[in-house]
Amino acid sequence: MCGIVGYIGPKNSVDIIVSGLHRLEYRGYDSAGIALCQGRDEKLLVIKTPGKISDLETAIRAAFAGKEARNYTLGIGHTRWATHGAPTRENAHPHVSRNGQFAIVHNGIIENYAELKARLIKKGFVFASETDSEVIAHLIEECYVGDLRGAVAAAIEKLEGAYGIAVISSKHPDTLVAVRKGSPIVVGICDGETIVASDVSAIVNYTKRVIFLNDGDILTATADSVEIASIKNVPVTREMTHIDWDIRDIEKGGYAHFMLKEIHEQPATIANALRGRLIESEGTAKLSGMLMGPSDMARIDRVSIAACGTSYHAGMVGKYLFEDFASIPSEVQQAAEFRDRNPIIQRDTCLIAISQSGETADTLAAVREGHQKGAVVMGICNVVGSTIAREAGRGVYLHAGPEIGVASTKAFTSQVTVLTMMAIALARTRRLSVNAGREMIQQLAKLPGIAEQVIAQESVIIKIAEKYADMRDCFYIGRGYMYPAALEGALKLKEISYIHAEGYHASELKHGPIALLEKTVPVIALVPNVPGKIKTMGNMQECKARHSPVIAIATEGDRDIESLSEDIIRIPPCPEFLAPIPAVIAEQLLAYHIARLRGCSIDQPRNLAKSVTVE
């Protein structure tokens, strides 16, 4: 959830670390800090503060005021999202050891920290924070006998939980150590310098050559060398990855917020997901990352989808697609539930793990459980080289480019696009005819244009947002493919506007939620001209009878719903299996403009983080 940046090289690490931390702001945080090596065996210089990175920059200027500028060539920095202890200066990272000569930054949770802390206190170590992370710094000092890498290895063997850690020590001013277990660490390979971070976005301005650490890897880096070994100090080799996007992809490009930019990018990102994968002549899609020929696909007799949040809603659409197109029994489970409830994995079950970041802790745990139980495991991820992509071993990349806004937008539509292609490919090994497949491929090819037409309705959506920006509660309803879209719409609204919003299957409205309907509770009804529309119109009538304003998301030219709706957002005509995509784009724009009018922090909503790497 938090952000890590570390640097060793000839340049001033302060500038590089602070710049990298700015690139990680989208992940969500409530405090920030840096630690710098001032010289061999001297105490490390630590500057940290609650609040934003701008507050840290103010503190850095104050710390250096009146002092001769120095070139700090070794340092680490961190943005923290509070778990153990409030967002205070004391709880902010980096944390230092008792002697002030070892500093760490940590992402994750140390589950046995209380036990370790009690033992260290008995040995005379003094704790300055309430965090679980501080124990790591003291453990490294306790284990140190002249070898920094060895001390880190000895310390982490005592830890239980998940962590990505970067360590510096004034005893080794030419060395940066990092270790990973369950929380990502990426290494940027430059000429004469090394950068480590928790996310590629902090590195890409300096190099496109990166190495992703695996769980259990310990990195020992100098300005000129990178060595990776196991905890037992057995050397390992990790593949170098080339990042195919640049710094412009993680800048706003003239938009007020990253979220709005990413909503507007969806015609292009959907096209990227489709590019080179549609085989119209054969009525199918070619997804080479699945590593499956037609005979392999034909053997799959059950699909299980594991995901969280927005990806879970995409997975719900996927369940309908696999069952409707390929007649494969399918289920979608919250990823933590998949692992915790000891799922039944039958022979020839395909587990599809969906995660934008490819680092979601619960989804990664589901991948590992799926492998353990003998499933055919696939990942659907956006981040190349991410842990889920590597550990799944097969799957499909979204190619949506970096998604910076915490509230996912373009990843969802790309995920649904990919799931649709997977369903068509599987269906063609069963009863889907080549002609029917061709028709579906032709419809899929129209998706980028459909997305453009929805975005063209933004001025209409803004007027509706102005009308409802002050609401306190809101319901979303839909049936069939529109049910997951209703859940996703409610999630977007609550994430960025802090309005209480709930999504329901339209038929569920009368089983309790209808008791809350009144004139101050709008209902957003998803009623495009697809199966289920007539019954949802009946639910709209029930809402109207209870004086709840109804906002319809409906097909262009459909007059049936006008008498039941206070306001209408129009989407282009499209088949049922594609309708969730334009409907959700409309919901994204509505949520965005309501949040904007309410003055909310749209790209960094309170209490949320982009990559949820703790369970």
Question: How far is it, in rounded angstroms, from Cα 302 to Cα 349?
Answer: 5
Catalytic residue check, 610: yes
- Judge whether 2 counts as a catalytic residue: yes
Residue 362 has phi, psi (to 5 degrees) of -65, -40
In Å, how far from its chain's centre is CA 527? Answer: 29
φ/ψ of residue 141, rounded to 5: -60, -45
Q: What is the DSSP letter of 564?
A: G
DSSP string for residues in 523-576: EEEEE-SSTTHHHHHHHHHHHHHTT--EEEEEETT--TTGGG-SEEEEE----T
Give me 352's structure tokens: 């599809």
Active-site residue identified among 2, 37, 474, 543: 2
CA distance 200 to 250: 11
Phi, psi of 344 (to 5 degrees): -85, 115
Distance from the Cα of residue 175 to its chain's centroid? 31
Could you tell me the two tokens for 54?
Answer: 């701008």
**Neighbour tally for 320: CB within 10 Å:** 20
Residue 123, both tokens: 């040995």
500-505/473-478 β-pairing: parallel
Backbone angles phi, psi at 72, to 5 degrees: -80, 105
Please, are residues 173 and 40 in contact by the beta-carbon 8 Å criterion? yes
Q: Which two tokens stand for residue 127?
A: 């704790």
Please report, for residues 71, 112, 155, 160, 168, the alpha-carbon distance to residue 120 in angstroms, rounded to integers and kept in the order given.
Answer: 35, 13, 12, 16, 21
Tell me whether strands 302-307 and 523-527 are parallel, antiparallel or unpaired.
unpaired
- SS3 call for 150: helix
Catalytic position from the list 48, 410, 494, 610: 610
Q: CA-CA distance, 167 to 154, in Å (whole number)?
A: 13
The one-letter code for the residue type at 273 is A
First-residue to last-residue Cα distance in the chain: 11
Q: How far, in Å, CA of 15 to CA of 6, rounded?
A: 11
Contact 87, 80 (CB under 8 A): yes
Residues in the chain: 615
Cα separation, 130 vs 90, in Å, equals: 8
Q: Which residues are catalytic?
A: 2, 610
